[in-house]
Amino acid sequence: MLTNYLYFLVNDQYKKLLKDEIKLKYPHFKICYSKNGLLTYKVDDIDVDIIFAHAYGNSIGMSNKSELTAKISSVRKKFSNKNVILNFHNCNDQDLQEQQDPQESALVLDVIKIDDDHFFLGIHPFGKYRTILNYHQSESKSESNPLPSRAYYKIKEALALSGEKINKKECVLDIGAAPGGISYFFLQHKLNVVAVDAAEMSPLCTSHKNFTHIALPLEKITDNHLSKYSFNWIVIDINLDPLYVVSTLKKLFNNEHCTNKPTNKLRGLFFTVKLTKNFTHSKIPTLLKNLTKLKLKLKIIYTRQLPSNKSEFMLYAIPI
Question: What is the distance between the alpha carbons of residues 7 and 39, in angstroms, rounded to a whole number?
Answer: 6
What residue segments make up the domains of the chain, in order of their start? 5-132, 143-319
Q: Are 94 and 117 in contact (CB under 8 A)?
A: no
Q: What is the CA radius of gyration of the chain?
A: 21
Mean pLDDT of 191-213: 97
Distance CA 165, CA 182 (A): 16
- 265-317 confidence digits (pLDDT tens): 999 999 999 999 999 999 999 999 999 999 889 999 999 999 999 999 999 99
Does the structure show a pLDDT above 50 at 135? no
- Whole-structure pTM value: 0.89
In a 3-state reduction of DSSP, which class is residue 210? coil
> Is the per-residue pLDDT at 152 higher than 70?
yes
What is the Cβ-side half-sphere exposure of residue 281, based on CA atoms within 13 angstroms?
13
Rounded to the nearest angstrom, the gap between the alpha carbon of residue 99 and the centroid of all alpha carbons in its chain is 20
Residue of 90, 261, 270 whose CA lies nearest to 177 = 270
pLDDT at site 126: 87
Q: In this structure, are strands 84-89 and 107-115 parallel, antiparallel, or unpaired? A: parallel
Give the CA count within 13 Å in the CB-facing half-sphere of 39. 23
Distance CA(234)–CA(250), nearest Å, equals 14
- For residue 248, how many other CB atoms are within 10 A of its CB? 17
Confidence of residue 127 (pLDDT cuts 50, 70, 90): confident
Q: Is CATH 3.20.20.70 correct for 143-319? A: no
For the 5-132 domain, the top CATH level (class) is alpha beta
Before 319, cis peptide (omega within 30)? Answer: no
- CB 223, CB 243: distance < 8 Å: no
109-122, pLDDT tens digit by residue?
A: 999 999 999 999 99
Spatial distance between the Cα atoms of 138 and 12, rounded to a whole number of angstroms? 18
Q: Is the distance from CB of 169 to CB of 157 less than 8 angstroms?
A: no
Instruction: Please say whether the beta carbons of 75 and 25 come within 8 A.
Output: no
143-319 matches 5-132 in CATH topology = no
Tens digit of pLDDT for each residue in 162-198? 989 999 999 999 999 999 999 999 999 999 999 999 9
DSSP string spanning 97-123?
S------TT-EEEEEEEEETTEEEEEE
